[in-house]
Amino acid sequence: MPHDDTAEHISAEGLAAQIPAGFLIGTATAAAQIEGAIDEPTRTSSVWDSFSSQPGRIVDGSTTAVTADHFHRRSEDVALMRDLGADAYRFSLGWTRLQPGGSGPLDAAGVSFYDRLLDELHEAGISPFVTLSHWDLPVEYEQGWLDRDTAHRFGEFAGLVAERFGDRVDAWITINEPATVTLNGYALGLHAPGRSLLFDALPTVHHQLLGHGLAVQALRAASVSGQVGISNAHTPVLPASDSEQDAAMALLFDVIHNRVFADPVLLGHYPEVPPEMADLFGAFSAVPAEDLDIISQPLDFYGLNYYMPSSVAAGAGTGESPDGVSEAMADLPFQLLPLDEYETTGFGWPIAPEYLGVVLGQLRDRYGDALPPVFITESGASFDDVAAADGSVSDPRRVDYVARHLSSALSAVTLGGPADGVDLRGFFVWSLLDNWEWAAGFTQRFGLVHVDFDTGQRTPKTSYRYLQNVFRQRRVT
């Protein structure tokens, strides 16, 4: 599918005219990437604190210690969102800030921080979307999501949080991108906790999904006022050629990246796979029916994180993945190939907004009436954004990226579009701020707002001003 030049350079007025009434547009962040303040007296260590302190784990050797210092600059960041005109803000809760050590009651200091954040968001007219788990776990959970007990502890944490904040949150996301947690954290060794188990990582799929289901139960038992859903990263998978081998490996990657996560949540069962692949998925062969009942409780919405399509070829590769080189990945029977016809982000990811409509259409076709309303809970790009001599930061490629992806999503769900019939409710730009980008450290900037990581100074970029104009034009029309 070639690059569509006609979609470039969308004016703020033109994009605003596409946005239907009631459609939410917001920004998103994650606690571990922006909060810093890991030495606050009652906060305890997370798996990412531990992982980032290990030599060689993070590209630039940076850690979670300060990141974007949102903990101390919370009010400034809320003011930036207010001035932007954003409808909503998606953020995650730091588990170890709220529940030190991952057990016992919620901590008063941690509760106070999020209390103030929620109050300030409401005062600014910004709808809070809260993620309970965005890749973060207490370091005390030695086996992490390999241990079934982690799911139960997560459900308990959800219940405590729901009782405390349940009347002030408009939407709850239980778990963010369980696919990335399993693949990068447990299969390929690229993210915390740094395990390289390949297909032996698949128990973490089930335990995350069970944790999701238990969290849904806890939220609803607390009668929270907000909607309840989950977010996962989906990638349209393309065979690298017409060969049967590439088609088989593309199917395998589609199953392990997309379907083993969405099928149990939306259909109540794990996907069927060809007999020759069955041994790889033995972890799901004896899943208790009651677990699937918990996992597949009806949701108010499904969160889609979209960044790129994937091209898959049979045969071992060099270990290249979208998030770095993994020695373990070189032992897989497939490899991910670049899509050379597309421009790329700073991460080297292909910029292909038309595939956002493709993945929305796949969700519709695969899940039909079982698919609830959809929010695009993340979409964004990293670029090498540099402050000019006058302090301004121009990022025209991000302007183009955000405009084309939002326009593509809106067009896809219109009558006759590739995802006609999908009830698309909103779009969250990743990210509000330049942040600490996991294993990439400070080397990749995703923000609408530039952050000087030495001083903490915030500078709205051109993309911020563009979206600000979109919001203003939308109010005018």
CA nearest neighbour of 209 among 133, 138, 96 = 133
10 Å CB burial of residue 148 (0-12, 13-18, 19+) is: middle
Query: For residues 208 and 151, is the Cβ–Cβ distance under 8 A?
Result: yes
Length of the chain: 477
Q: Read off the DSSP letter of residue 146.
A: G
10 Å CB burial of residue 153 (0-12, 13-18, 19+) is: buried
d(CA 348, CA 381): 10
Q: Which residues contact 175 (CB under 8 A, 6 or more apart)?
A: 131, 132, 133, 181, 208, 211, 212, 215, 230, 231
d(CA 102, CA 455): 32
Give how far Cα 194 sits from Cα of 52, 175, 182, 204, Å: 10, 19, 10, 13
- 3-class SS string, 70-120: HHHHHHHHHHHHHHHCCCEEEEECCHHHHCHHHCCCCCHHHHHHHHHHHHH
SS3 354: helix
d(CA 176, CA 70): 20
Give me 71's structure tokens.
Answer: 């903990």
d(CA 464, CA 470): 10
Query: For residues 85 and 135, is the Cβ–Cβ distance under 8 A?
Result: no
Q: Catalytic residue, from 35, 120, 354, 378: name it.
A: 378
SS3 41: coil
Helix or strand run (H / E) with residue 252: helix 244-254
Q: Read off the DSSP letter of residue 170.
A: S
SS3 226: coil
Residue 177 bears catalytic tag: yes
Q: Catalytic residue, from 35, 177, 354, 437: name it.
A: 177
Q: Which residues contact 55 (CB under 8 A, 6 or more apart)?
A: 61
Q: Check the CA dihedral 135-96-150-118 and report its sign.
A: negative
Give the Cβ contact number of residue 244 at 10 Å: 10
Catalytically annotated residues: 177, 378
